[in-house]
Amino acid sequence: MKNIVLLTGAGISAESGIKTFRDADGLWEGHDVMQVASPQGFATDPELVLDFYNQRRKQLLTVKPNKAHLAITKLQEHFNVTVITQNVDDLHERAGNKNVVHLHGELLKARCTQNETEVLEWTKDLNLGDLSKSKNQLRPHIVWFGEEVPLLEKAAKITETADVLIIIGTSMQVYPAASLVHYVTNGTPIYFIDPNPSIKQSDFNNLTIINKTAVNGLPTLVKDLIDTML
């Protein structure tokens, strides 16, 4: 069975109504990114950081997977499919996507500030005084700026096995996630779905650019792959 690997980013979730939170001036909901998405920001003002993610969590619970998420489940019926996502939402899982690697963590989980392996499911507000089993403050289970991406090596190994790579909803400008495209075997078909592509046809061998949004581009590509690869 062929291996299909998808790299997904904010663009696929935006079509479900998830706010990207990053304004044109680079601010996140009016905050500098280092205030709300770094260990230093959390140490300086933990209540601000917790509230920022509480608002994101509330919004996530009001939206649903879209046609792009659901198209991936169609691929699963015929191929070995792995989704490597920069997104911290659970829309892939809610759509039925079975193999999902969250590079940047998960919004509906919390973890111990002293033991990163102590992770809890978390769907309500997270506040100061909410403690882990080892009696330490809990924090969002999110990979912040300046922190290592623990699943990057796993994602690289998965990408190496790809018979087809589909990149969707990500500008390929966010590192280290953007480096994953370089792990595919030379000649592997790469599909890049984006309404405003940041890369050119000549940037990668065997690249096809689909100048559409996730919802408009992925279902058609999935049908084409099923028709031609089976």
**104 tagged catalytic:** yes
129 carries a ligand binding annotation: no
- Indicate the residue type of 149: V
Distances in whole angstroms, Cα of residue 71 to Cα of each of 8, 23, 91, 216 = 13, 29, 12, 11
The single residue of 69, 102, 104, 141 carrying the catalytic annotation is 104
Q: Cβ of 157: how many Cβ atoms within 10 Å?
A: 10
86/106 Cα distance (integer angstroms): 10
24 carries a ligand binding annotation: yes
Beta carbons within 8 Å of 99's beta carbon, 6+ residues apart: 81, 82, 83
30 carries a ligand binding annotation: no
What six digits make up the tokens of 195?
């309404």
22 carries a ligand binding annotation: yes
214 carries a ligand binding annotation: yes
56 carries a ligand binding annotation: yes
17 carries a ligand binding annotation: yes
Instruction: Say if residues 168 and 12 touch (Cβ distance below 8 Å).
Output: yes
173 carries a ligand binding annotation: no
Which positions make up the binding site for substrate? 53, 56
Which positions make up the binding site for NAD(+)? 9-28, 86-89, 169-171, 214
Which positions make up the binding site? 9-28, 53, 56, 86-89, 169-171, 214
Instruction: Please give the positions annotated as active site.
Output: 104
